[in-house]
Amino acid sequence: MPSRIATIVVLVIGLVGSTLYAGDKKTVSFNQIGDISVRNIYLAPSLATADTCFVTDNQEITWRIDGWVIGLELYKSLMNPANNCPNPYPFTITAINMPMMFDAPTPITIAVDVEAVDNTTIPGCPVPGALLAVSSQWETQIPEAGMYNIWVPLDTPIIVNGPFFAGFYLGNVFDTAVHAAVLTDDFPVPCATYNIWDETIGWVDLGNNNIYNFPGRLAMETAGIPGGVSSPQLEILTPSDGDILYANQELWAWDNQVTNKIEYIMFEYSNGGSFMEIGRKFDGTSPLRDGVHSALIGTGFSLNWDFSSFSEGYYDLRVTLVDTSGSTQSQTINVYLEPTPPIATITSPGQGTAFCSPVDINMTSPDENLSIIEVQHRAVDMFVSLDISPFDQALVGDTDGDPEDGNYATNGEFGDYYSAPVAAAIAAKVWSDRGYPDLVRQGTAMMTSAEVAEKFAAVFNTQAFLGAYDEAVFAGLKQYSTARGGGFEFDLKRQPNYADLRTWVENDERVVMLGVGGNPGFWLIIDGFSAWQRTDSTYLVSVANPLTGTIESATWRDLTGYSEIKLSGVWHRADLMISMFATGWNVSRSMIGADLIGQDGWSVHWNPSGILDGTYHYLRSVGHDQDDHQGAYSVLVQHNCAAVYVPGDYDNDRVATMSDLFLLIEFITQAGPPPDGGAMRADCNCDNVVNIADIIYYMNYLYGTASPPCR
pLDDT at 338 over 90: yes
pLDDT for position 633: 96
Same domain for 598 and 627? yes
**Residue 601: which CATH number?**
2.60.40.10
Any domain includes 42: yes
Q: Would residue 291 be called left, alpha or beta, if left means φ above 0 and alpha means ψ between -120 and 50 degrees?
A: left
Average pLDDT over residues 335-363: 93
pLDDT tens for 562-601 read 999 999 999 999 999 999 999 999 999 999 999 998 888 9
pLDDT for position 49: 59
Range name among 232-241, 647-656, 688-697 with the lowest pLDDT average: 647-656
Same domain for 656 and 632? no
pLDDT for position 230: 60
Same domain for 683 and 656? yes
- Backbone φ, ψ for residue 264 (5° rounding): -170, 165
Q: Which residues contact 454 (CB under 8 A, 6 or more apart)?
A: 11, 12, 134, 396, 421
Of 553, 547, 508, 563, the residue nearest 528 (C-alpha): 553
pLDDT at 11 over 70: no
CA 213 to the chain's CA centroid: 45
pLDDT at 23 over 60: no
Which pTM was predicted?
A: 0.69
Same domain for 618 and 509? no
pLDDT for position 636: 94
Q: For the chain, how many structural domains are there in total?
A: 5
pLDDT at 1 over 70: no
pLDDT at 133 over 70: yes
Among 600, 615, 641, identify where a domain stops. Answer: 641
pLDDT tens for 635-672 read 999 998 777 788 899 988 878 999 999 999 999 999 89
**Residue 653: which CATH number?**
1.10.1330.10
Same domain for 165 and 20? yes
Any domain includes 233: no
pLDDT at 294 over 60: yes
Average pLDDT over residues 290-305: 95
Q: Would residue 406 be called left, alpha or beta, if left means φ above 0 and alpha means ψ between -120 and 50 degrees?
A: left
Its domain, for residue 215, covers 3-226
Range name among 104-108, 191-195, 324-328, 406-410 with the lowest pLDDT average: 406-410
pLDDT for position 346: 96
pLDDT for position 540: 97
pLDDT band at 14 (very low <50, low <70, confident <90, very high): very low
Same domain for 649 and 637? no
Among 226, 248, 272, identify where a domain stops. Answer: 226
Average pLDDT over residues 55-76: 93
Average pLDDT over residues 267-292: 96
Same domain for 443 and 305? no
Range name among 46-60, 182-196, 490-504 with the lowest pLDDT average: 46-60
Same domain for 151 and 65? yes
How many Cα atoms are found within 13 Å in the side-chain-facing hemisphere of 373? 31
Any domain includes 635: yes
Any domain includes 708: no
Any domain includes 232: no
Same domain for 198 and 140? yes
Cα dihedral: 567, 568, 573, 576 (round 10)? -50
The residues with which 590 forms a beta bridge, in sequence order, are 377
Same domain for 368 and 331? no
pLDDT tens for 622-636 read 999 999 999 999 999
Any domain includes 314: yes
pLDDT tens for 509-530 read 999 999 999 999 999 999 999 9
The answer to whether the beta carbons of residues 109 and 139 sit under 8 Å apart is: yes
Cα dihedral: 676, 606, 366, 246 (round 10)? 140
Helix boundaries (H) for 96-214 = none
Interatomic CA distance for residues 635 and 42, integer angstroms: 46
- Kindly tell me the burial class for residue 423, based on how many C-beta atoms sit within 10 Å of its own C-beta (0-12, 13-18, 19 or more): buried
pLDDT at 686 over 90: no
Any domain includes 711: no
Average pLDDT over residues 481-507: 95
Max mean pLDDT among 75-89, 92-106, 396-410 falls in: 92-106
Same domain for 455 and 328? no
The beta-carbon contacts of 47-52 under 8 Å, at least 24 apart in sequence, are 47/94, 47/95, 47/151, 47/153, 47/223, 48/223, 49/225, 49/231, 51/225, 51/226, 51/227, 51/230, 51/231, 52/94, 52/223, 52/224, 52/225
Among 338, 371, 406, identify where a domain stops. Answer: 338
pLDDT tens for 95-117 read 999 999 999 999 999 999 999 89
pLDDT band at 19 (very low <50, low <70, confident <90, very high): very low
Interatomic CA distance for residues 524 and 577, integer angstroms: 10
Any domain includes 137: yes
Same domain for 491 and 448? yes
pLDDT for position 228: 63
Q: Which residues contact 152 (CB under 8 A, 6 or more apart)?
A: 43, 95, 96, 97, 110, 111, 112, 135, 138, 168
**Residue 432: which CATH number?**
3.90.70
The answer to whether the beta carbons of residues 308 and 343 sit under 8 Å apart is: no
